Amino acid sequence: MNPSDPPSSGTAIAAALSAREPADDQALARARAFAEPLLTASQLDTGENTLAHADAMVGILALMGGSPEMQAAAYLVYACQYLQRPQEIIAKAFGDSYAHVAVETHKLLQLQRQARLKAAQVRLERELAQQQSGFVANAAKAQPSELDASQTENVRKMLLAFSRDLRVVMLRLASRLQTLRYHAAARKLPERALAQESLHIFAPLANRLGIWQIKWEMEDLSFRFLEPDTYKQIARLLDEKRVERESHVEQVRLDLEAALQAQGIQASVQGRPKHIYSIVKKMRGKSLDFDQVFDIRALRVVVPAVDDCYAVLAWVHSHFSPVSEEFDDYIAKPKPNGYQSLHTVVRDAQGRAFEIQIRTQAMHDHAEHGVAAHWAYKEAGSKGYAGVSASSDYDAKIAVLRQLLAWQSDLSGEASQLFDDCIYVLTPQAAIVELPQGATPLDFAYTVHTTLGHRCRGARVDGAMVTLNTPLRSGQTVEVVAAKEGGPSRDWLNPELGYLVSHRAKSKVRAWFNALAAEDNAARGRDAIERLLQREGKTALRHEELAAGLGFETPQALFESVGKEETSLRAVEQQLKPQELVPEPDEVVIRKARGAEKSSSGGVLVVGVDSLLTQLARCCKPAPPDEIRGFVTRGKGVSIHRSDCPDFGHLVRRHPDRVLDVQWSGAKGKGAESAVYPVDVAVEAQDRQGLLRDISDAFSREKINVIGVQTQSVRGVAWMTFTVEVTDSMRVARVMSAVSDVPGVQRVWRR
């Protein structure tokens, strides 16, 4: 099954339910009794009693709609650290499902704690370094790195992907909310990193899961710790006219409820709570003063059906003055996370503005608890679940997880495959890196930085040295051991050795070797050209002038072309010679070939001219049915080149009037069936023992006769040129495909 496809109604739910442990009505009481002796005298890092923390988590989980089994896991999570074999002990006492969720949640808890501690340590070291270097004033202006920019989203996704079980995420949300509540009640300021993580990671995660009650409380508590002065200022402004405002809202509430009852609409009208962080966000986002925030006065109307929502809206707009630019229909167009409601802002006769939200009971339950009972797989399509659109593939995955939570099922089977395509690991600085499934420490190194990947020589995973092709798992901390200089190994590109999984990392390694090959080719080309210049007595000739004469923009491009044998030294030699006067066509001495009739009928025909001496150019070795052109030489007849031959291109630029149209002879004379043509096939491969034998075997299997071989090995790369005999160039394409399949071969082309 494709992970992006929605599961069917019957099979997915049946599979999920079948994976559950047998119901245990006493699980919650038994779990508390099991953990109480271990947790009574225990304290968390925050100073809160561990048992009291777990008790509070149970209440929060109940508010979130968590089952008694999930609530029972709250006690077992914190009991893990006091058990020598927690997986075995908890499984024996409560079952495998309880053991799994407890151990995985405890593991994630420790991982996040470790990440926060490391991040705090890195920040401290950075601040000390800035103080020593005198750049303290500019510390806040430092630009975040690429990894820092993606950290928040990666942490959020890791919470979902780490254990493949949404119950783990719910337990972590409940625990974090209780930690914030504890600090608020004790009037203790938590670590800034904890408050920031709560505001920017946990609260948005609760929002994605549709658990708005948790989201709003987390936001207000986190904001209270991060910006206490602003929080107190908004709270004071809310309190200043509280009596007058609440009196007005209560009067409007009573009038609206009575009017709707008279219209036959069974509606519950309530005052809507004001969330300080949402007020601040609106003020900052829209540059508003406090008095301009309309939803400080707010009502919520809950009705039985969708039609009633629009009926209430019509009545409200007919009896108050609507503010047109402040109307949103989230029923017709729900938010990406599934939120549905009508929002409108109206003014009364005195001009006082207030917001009214209108929704059904089902929409209200979903907004409050994140579980909408009316969602069903059969309603899912390309637009999402229950008509809720998903803004991305990630949001679609969240929608599936939310549906499974509503059925109180374990996330197994299809659901566990939702995050099979990626893992999340930590850097030593506590940054989280997203990698493809099966990625290695080498993939990790290249993801962090290209240079780090090139110089990677070893790795530590969770403090232990591992080989570079060791598959990583989510939650591991990876440290790269790098050399001061150096580059990648060609073994890293060998798929059988399993060093690299990421396509991006592989492309970086290939780019490094391509650049290295270009340097080697340029060095060979420069050496060959300088020897030629010495032989011709042209050492004073500027390389730039020579390159321009041959049609190259830079000498480096010329050297590389000569080094790769794309441009022959013969073409360079001709460029060095003085321009010769081109004789008139009737002055060109052309000898008739011996047996001209036989030669032309079985080889090449010169268009418009009969019985000319022709010869196949050795620089490009054409063979039928290659597209060919002819060039009139002095005293040696017509030289036949492939039309894409670089040497022919240079000749055309110097003597365009010597070019002739030619074509392969279509007739076959006596013995033409056995005519063969020499062709050069070039191979670039990772040098190894037996490489030449394996490539030769490939030619042999294709029944291709090899008449010459040139080979050279440079820095572990074998450069080979095979001269073969073929009856036509179509066979060359087939044999090149066969050679490409030889292990270690990286590139095959025809010279």
Report CA Rg, the chain.
Answer: 38
Separation between Cα atoms, residue 70 and residue 167, nearest integer Å:
7
Do 415 and 48 form a contact (C-beta atoms < 8 A)?
Answer: no
Q: What is the pLDDT of residue 152?
A: 54
Contacts for 78 with CB less than 8 Å, ≥ 6 apart: 35, 38, 39, 42, 50, 53, 54, 106
DSSP 3-state of 589 = coil
Q: What share of the chain is helix, strand, coil (3-state, %, to 5)?
A: 50, 15, 30
Q: Cis peptide before 625, with omega less than 30 degrees from 0?
A: yes
Residues in the chain where the model's pLDDT stays below 70: 1-25, 114-123, 130-166, 208-210, 240-245, 272-274, 286, 288, 290-296, 336-337, 368-421, 429-432, 577-612, 635, 666-674
What is the C-alpha separation between 1 and 381, in angstroms, rounded? 15
Residues 6 or more apart in contact with residue 463 via CB below 8 angstroms: 477
Q: What percent of the chain has pLDDT over 90?
A: 19
Using alpha carbons only, what angle is made at residue 414 by residues 477 and 424, rounded to the nearest 5 degrees? 15
For residues 51 and 41, give the distance between their C-alpha atoms in angstroms, rounded to a whole number.
Answer: 8
Which pLDDT belongs to residue 141?
40
CA 312 distance to own-chain centroid? 46
Q: Reduce the DSSP state of residue 169 to 3 states and report it.
A: helix
Amino acid at 451: T
Give the residue among 209, 723, 92, 117 at the shortest CA–CA distance from 430. Answer: 117
Mean pLDDT of the chain: 75
Residue 611 has a pLDDT of: 55
Q: Which two tokens stand for residue 156?
A: 């959020």
Q: What is the pLDDT of residue 137?
A: 42
From residue 428, give the alpha-carbon distance in Å to each of 117, 170, 431. 11, 27, 7
Contact by Cβ (8 Å): 604, 628? yes
Distance CA 108, CA 362 (A): 33
Residues in the chain: 751
Spatial distance between the Cα atoms of 330 and 359, rounded to a whole number of angstroms: 10
pLDDT at 301: 93
pLDDT of 120 reads 66
Q: State the Cα–Cα distance between residues 218 and 277, nearest whole angstrom.
A: 10
Q: What is the 8-class DSSP label of residue 388?
A: B
Inter-residue contact 334 to 388 (CB < 8 Å): yes
